[in-house]
Amino acid sequence: MAAQYISLGILLIFSILSFVDGVYIHLLHYRLQEQTASKYEHYLHSLRALLFFLILLFIYYFRSSGIWLWIGCFFILFDYIIESIDMFAEKESRQELGGLPSFEYWLHGTLVMLRSLSLGLWFSSISLSRFNLNDSAMKAHLTGLSSLLIEQILISTLCVVGLHILLIFRPNALRAIQWQCCKNEVMK
């Protein structure tokens, strides 16, 4: 059980840094959703946000077994494939913006490490028998602070997914929202 608690702590750090990368850097600072060359990258980020939500549900929140655990593993694999496509697309996508800054390279590497460490610790704490296809179930199993933490990350992730989808159809929506609620000159 200690491995799961450590895994959740790492997942929290990952989630906070992902928010900085995915919302502040991508959407607010560089406004990738508004850049013609970066639209494809924004679509990939939107898909990855949805996959993160599904991974949270199938791997962390529910005590999945059998087919449900295998579906969760599929989401992890699919996320890795989309992340790889994103990495190859970033060079062309960011060319007009002067390329990917060193800090963002570092941040992406740190996020990969944190996500991998969290998942590795989580999987190390579950029994191999849960992969048996004859015993498929999904049950909420976390309690107390662990449950609250995952639920908060799930809610936040769902909001980020919604924001990404909104920006697919209305790429300038953040400018209007920012102007109406804050009238802040910083994000011009």
Could you give the angle at which helices 2-19 and 102-124 cross, rounded to 10 degrees? Answer: 160
The pLDDT of residue 120 is 97
The pLDDT of residue 171 is 94
- Below-70 pLDDT ranges, the chain: 176-188
- Quick count: other Cβ atoms within 10 Å of Cβ 22? 21
Beta-carbon contacts of 98 under 8 Å, excluding residues fewer than 6 positions away, are: none
Give 187's DSSP letter.
G
Lookup result for tokens 């992340």: 83
The pLDDT of residue 46 is 97
3 state SS of 139: strand
155 is written with which tokens? 């809610």
Residue 137 zone, left/alpha/beta (φ > 0; ψ -120 to 50; rest): beta
Distance in angstroms (rounded) separating the CA atoms of residues 96 and 107: 21
The pTM score is 0.89
- Quick count: other Cβ atoms within 10 Å of Cβ 91? 10
Burial class (CB in 10 A: 0-12, 13-18, 19+), 185: exposed
Lookup result for tokens 């969290």: 118
pLDDT tens digits, one per residue of 106-127: 999 999 999 999 999 999 999 9
**Closest listed residue to residue 12, CA positions, set 160, 158, 106, 146:** 146
Tell me the residue length of the chain: 188
Kindly provide the b/e burial profile for residues 161-178, where b requires at least 16 CB atoms within 10 angstroms of the residue's own CB: bebbeebeeebeebeeee
